[in-house]
Amino acid sequence: MAQAATFMTGFVIILGLFIYLIRRVSQRFSDRIDAGSFARIERVIIGGIVLGVVGMFQPWLFAGYKLGFQLLLLSTLAFIVWSHVTPAPTIYRVDD
């Protein structure tokens, strides 16, 4: 019973810290990054997810599996954080 309580306490603390990180990044970068930079960063993160999946499912190297898992984990967490950032609005100028 004590192990379950310790696990749940640790889990809730880590989850709370991750939520805090998401809020801080969102407040810091939302409406401040232009759409082009936002899209490039998003593509890099998605590329990391794809490479992580490829690394996990390749059958030749166990080290590739370990690195693929770590890359997939970090890229997924980065995508979750980045998905809460809103790019700056694009201002269109109408010439008369």
Question: 13-22 long-range contacts, Cβ below 8 Å, gap at least 24?
Answer: 18/77, 21/81, 22/80, 22/81, 22/84
Residue at 70 is within a domain: yes
**Residue 95 DSSP symbol:** -
- Per the structure, the complete domain to which residue 18 belongs is given by 2-82
The model carries a pTM of 0.82
**Structural domain total, the chain:** 1
| Tens of pLDDT, residues 77-90 | 999 999 999 998 88
Sign for the pseudo-dihedral over CA of 22, 28, 32, 37: negative
| Tens of pLDDT, residues 37-95 | 999 999 999 999 999 999 999 888 888 889 999 999 999 999 999 999 999 888 777 77
CB 88 within 8 A of CB 32: yes
54, two tokens: 């490829």
